[in-house]
């Protein structure tokens, strides 16, 4: 809970009188695009139960695409200084709020790694996740607020392959990526966010890094299906109701895509603890990589009507 501050101390502590009835969310909601999107979805579902205009304190230096996501959501944001980044570190401005939601440690919380992301954030916001309908746990609010900008020079209706992930454990091996592109190119237009091998340069469209959130969403919205190990792109596919094959080397798919009606999840049989977020050493990376080769590529692609 927030605490009262003497008026003489308010300016020194950077306490704003208008914050007295508001909630502060520290590190709301993380530093990756996927975490932020799910956190904002949870916040949208919870708004009717919270005081108006909660303030999200975020660490500085976020990518412009992620900053645009918060702007699109209409979130009130302020900087959380690096010296206050860790749980337990004092953060004086929080004294002026009615309640403080602590999320500075969520990426290392065992519950975050082993439960539905949106349920985790809803619980931290004080709601019973079971009382929130599945439709409210989807990311479709983004499609209602943002007009996507499709890739130039590429007609809609392609298969989008997303082989790059924020975490090394989820990265798609280059050999799998190249074989996937080859097979998909035999069936129709293909675009990838990864590197295109020279032999496929005239058959596969290489998408450069998106400069804006609208461009990134456009890559997804213009696709007829998405094949991804990048959970951020899986969440965007749900936002725009694009069919998606989501591949999970270490996580139970229910923890990430349970509420997505257009998503087909595939859990690889990696010899690793379920929910492992960060590699403990080279052996973990090798195990995650090996899991990709344990399932025949045609069987993998047939999960979403490809192959």
Residue 147 lies in a domain: no
Provide the percentage of residues in the chain whose pLDDT is more than 90: 69
* pLDDT recorded at residue 10: 37
The tally of domains found in the chain comes to: 2
* pLDDT recorded at residue 298: 86
Q: What is the pLDDT of residues 119-175, one digit of tens each?
A: 999 999 999 999 999 999 999 999 999 999 999 999 999 999 999 988 888 999 999
Residue 77 lies in a domain: yes
Quote the tokens at residue 36. Answer: 């932020």
Mean pLDDT of 195-210: 94
Residue 152 lies in a domain: no
My answer on whether 112 and 178 are in the same domain is no
Q: Which one of 106, 128, 150 terminates a domain?
A: 128
Q: How far apart are CA 29 and CA 35, in angstroms?
A: 6
What angle in degrees, to the nearest 10, is found between the helix axes of 213-221 and 64-73? 80
Minimum mean pLDDT among 7-11, 52-56, 139-143, 206-210: which range?
A: 7-11
My answer on whether 182 and 281 are in the same domain is yes
Mean pLDDT of 45-53: 90
Residue 214 lies in a domain: yes
My answer on whether 26 and 67 are in the same domain is yes
Alpha carbon of 40 to those of 28, 85, 218, 226: distances in Å?
8, 20, 20, 22
**Helix, strand, coil % in the chain, rounded to nearest 5:** 40, 15, 45
3-class state of residue 77 by DSSP: strand
Provide the percentage of residues in the chain whose pLDDT is more than 70: 93
Nearest to 265 by CA among 277, 276, 255, 275: 255
Sheet holding 204-206, edge to edge: 204-206, 190-192, 158-162, 223-228, 244-248, 263-267
* Residue 26 in this model has a pLDDT that exceeds 80: yes
Sequence-separated (6 or more) residues with CB below 8 Å from residue 191:
151, 154, 158, 159, 160, 161, 204, 205, 206, 207, 219, 223
My answer on whether 100 and 189 are in the same domain is no
209: CATH: 3.40.50.2000
Residues spanned by the domain of 190 = 158-302
Please give the model's pTM, rounded to 2 decimal places.
Answer: 0.91
Q: Which one of 128, 145, 169 terminates a domain?
A: 128
Query: How would residue 14 be classed by pLDDT, with cut points 50, 70 and 90?
Result: low
My answer on whether 177 and 263 are in the same domain is yes
Q: How high does pLDDT run on average in the chain?
A: 90
* pLDDT recorded at residue 304: 60
Q: How far apart are CA 237 and CA 229, in angstroms?
A: 12
My answer on whether 64 and 183 are in the same domain is no
Residue 149 lies in a domain: no
Q: What is the pLDDT of residues 240-279, one digit of tens each?
A: 999 999 999 888 888 889 999 999 999 998 888 887 888 9
My answer on whether 212 and 169 are in the same domain is yes
Q: What is the pLDDT of residues 66-92, one digit of tens each?
A: 999 999 999 999 999 999 999 989 998
My answer on whether 208 and 249 are in the same domain is yes
* Residue 12 in this model has a pLDDT that exceeds 50: no
The DSSP code for 272 is S
My answer on whether 124 and 162 are in the same domain is no
* pLDDT recorded at residue 13: 39
My answer on whether 190 and 266 are in the same domain is yes
Residue 146 lies in a domain: no
Q: How far apart are CA 25 and CA 101, in angstroms?
A: 5
My answer on whether 121 and 229 are in the same domain is no
Q: What is the pLDDT of residues 87-111, one digit of tens each?
A: 989 998 888 899 999 999 898 888 8
Mean pLDDT of 209-236: 97
* pLDDT recorded at residue 15: 54
Q: How far apart are CA 295 and CA 229, in angstroms?
A: 15
Q: Which one of 110, 128, 146 terminates a domain?
A: 128
Minimum mean pLDDT among 93-102, 189-198, 225-234: which range?
A: 93-102
Mean pLDDT of 59-65: 92
Residue 11 lies in a domain: yes
Nearest to 239 by CA among 162, 147, 140: 140
3-class state of residue 152 by DSSP: coil
My answer on whether 74 and 197 are in the same domain is no
Residue 39 lies in a domain: yes
């Amino acid at each position: 809970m927030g605490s009262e501050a003497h008026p003489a101390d308010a300016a020194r502590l950077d306490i704003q009188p208008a914050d007295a009835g508001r909630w502060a969310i520290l590190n709301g909601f993380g530093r990756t695009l996927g975490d932020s999107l799910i956190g904002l979805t949870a916040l949208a579902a919870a708004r009717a139960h919270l005081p108006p205009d909660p303030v999200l304190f975020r660490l500085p230096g976020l990518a412009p695409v992620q900053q645009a996501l918060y702007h699109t959501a209409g979130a009130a944001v302020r900087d959380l200084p690096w010296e206050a980044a860790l749980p337990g570190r004092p953060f004086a401005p929080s004294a002026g709020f009615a309640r403080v939601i602590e999320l500075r440690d969520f990426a290392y919380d065992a519950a975050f790694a082993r439960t539905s992301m949106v349920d985790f954030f809803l619980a931290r916001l004080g709601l019973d996740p079971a009382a929130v309908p599945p439709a409210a746990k989807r990311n479709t609010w983004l499609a209602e607020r943002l007009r996507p900008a499709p890739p130039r020079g590429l007609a809609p209706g392609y298969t989008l392959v997303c082989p790059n992930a924020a975490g090394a454990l989820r990265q798609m091996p280059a050999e799998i990526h190249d074989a996937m592109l080859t097979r998909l190119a035999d069936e129709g237009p293909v675009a990838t966010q990864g590197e295109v091998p020279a032999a496929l340069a005239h058959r596969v469209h290489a998408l450069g890094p998106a400069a804006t959130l609208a461009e990134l969403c456009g890559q997804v919205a213009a696709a007829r299906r998405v094949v991804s190990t990048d959970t951020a792109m899986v969440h965007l596919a749900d936002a725009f109701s694009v069919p998606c094959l989501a591949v999970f080397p270490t996580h139970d798919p229910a923890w990430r895509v349970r509420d997505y009606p257009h998503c087909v999840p595939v859990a690889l049989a990696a010899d690793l603890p379920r929910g492992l977020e960060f590699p403990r050493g080279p052996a973990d990376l090798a195990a995650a990589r090996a899991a990709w080769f344990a399932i025949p590529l045609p069987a993998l692609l047939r999960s979403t009507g490809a192959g």
